[in-house]
């Protein structure tokens, strides 16, 4: 392998690593933004959002599709958009040299919920089951954070939080019509 090819290969791996770190940071920022929106909505309703863990829904076949059907039926909430930095381009020479970030397509984030009373909620074991150690507690609600890229048919699941069930009316108080959220993503107007 020539020295130039080796250098090009090293640069490609460095660029890929920077992109993956950027995507992970963006996703974590969106997770925190979604949590903040939910906490604020709960507080405005006089309730507290109590976290109860996380779950990997992508591990079970068919669950992401069922979660998306629930989002279409029960609504979603737009979180925001990010444009990942794919790399940099340099222009100019010497002191006039500047780098311009090259950004990818916008990635839009929204969340939906899965209630313990739904079939998927039952499969995810969101309903409280008493044990000798814990005789009473509350059911859980799964809050699904989605990422939608323009041009892709279906969104992908980024993260799922479990929160303790309260009297918070997810649909009545907080969620938007799914088609409204998709229109926001398509038109780019939050």
Residues 8-40: pLDDT tens digits?
444 444 444 444 334 445 789 999 999 888 888
**141 vs 47, more confident:** 141
Residue ranges making up the domain that contains 120: 3-187
Can you say whether the dihedral through the CA atoms of 55, 57, 63, 65 is positive or negative? positive
Here the tokens at position 45 are 């309703």
Q: Is 72 exposed, middle or buried (0-12, 13-18, 19+ CB in 10 A)?
A: middle
**C-alpha to C-alpha distance for 6 and 25, rounded to whole angstroms:** 29
**C-alpha to C-alpha distance for 114 and 161, rounded to whole angstroms:** 10
Domain count, the chain: 1
What per-residue confidence (pLDDT) applies to 72? 94
What per-residue confidence (pLDDT) applies to 152? 85
Q: What share of the chain is helix, strand, coil (3-state, %, to 5)?
A: 40, 25, 30
Q: What angle do CA 28, 76, 47 make, to 5 degrees?
A: 80
* Residue among 177, 174, 183 nearest 148 (CA): 183
| Residue 138 clears pLDDT 50, i.e. is over it | yes
Most confident of 12-16, 89-93, 98-102, 144-148: 144-148
**94 vs 38, more confident:** 38
DSSP string, 13-72: HHHHHHHHHHHHHHHHHHHHHHHHHHHHHHHHTT----EEEE--GGGSTTHHHHHHHHHH
The whole-chain average pLDDT of the chain stands at 77
**What percent of the chain lies above the pLDDT cut of 70?**
65
Q: Name which of 44-53, 60-69, 86-95, 171-180 the model is least confident about.
A: 86-95
**What percent of the chain lies above the pLDDT cut of 90?**
23
Summarised one tens digit per residue, pLDDT across range 53-66 is 788 766 677 889 99
pLDDT band (50, 70, 90) for residue 75: very high
**148 vs 12, more confident:** 148
pTM to 2 decimal places: 0.72
Here the tokens at position 125 are 């074991």
């Amino acid at each position: 392998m020539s020295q130039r090819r080796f250098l090009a290969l090293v640069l490609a791996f460095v660029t890929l690593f920077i992109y993956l770190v950027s995507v992970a940071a963006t996703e974590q920022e969106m997770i925190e933004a979604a949590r903040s929106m939910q906490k604020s909505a709960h507080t405005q309703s006089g309730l507290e959002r109590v976290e109860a863990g996380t779950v990997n829904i992508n591990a079970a076949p068919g669950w992401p599709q069922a979660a998306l059907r629930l989002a279409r039926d029960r609504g979603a909430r737009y979180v925001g958009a990010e444009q990942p930095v794919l790399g940099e381009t340099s222009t100019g020479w010497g002191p006039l040299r500047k780098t311009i970030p090259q950004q990818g397509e916008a990635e839009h984030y929204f969340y939906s919920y899965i209630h313990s009373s739904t079939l998927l909620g039952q499969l995810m074991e969101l309903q409280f089951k008493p044990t000798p150690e814990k005789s009473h507690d509350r059911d859980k609600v799964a809050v699904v954070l989605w990422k939608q890229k323009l041009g892709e048919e279906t969104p992908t699941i980024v993260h799922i939080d479990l929160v303790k069930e309260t009297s918070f009316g997810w649909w009545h108080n907080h969620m938007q019509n799914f088609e409204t959220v998709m229109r926001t993503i398509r038109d780019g107007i939050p």
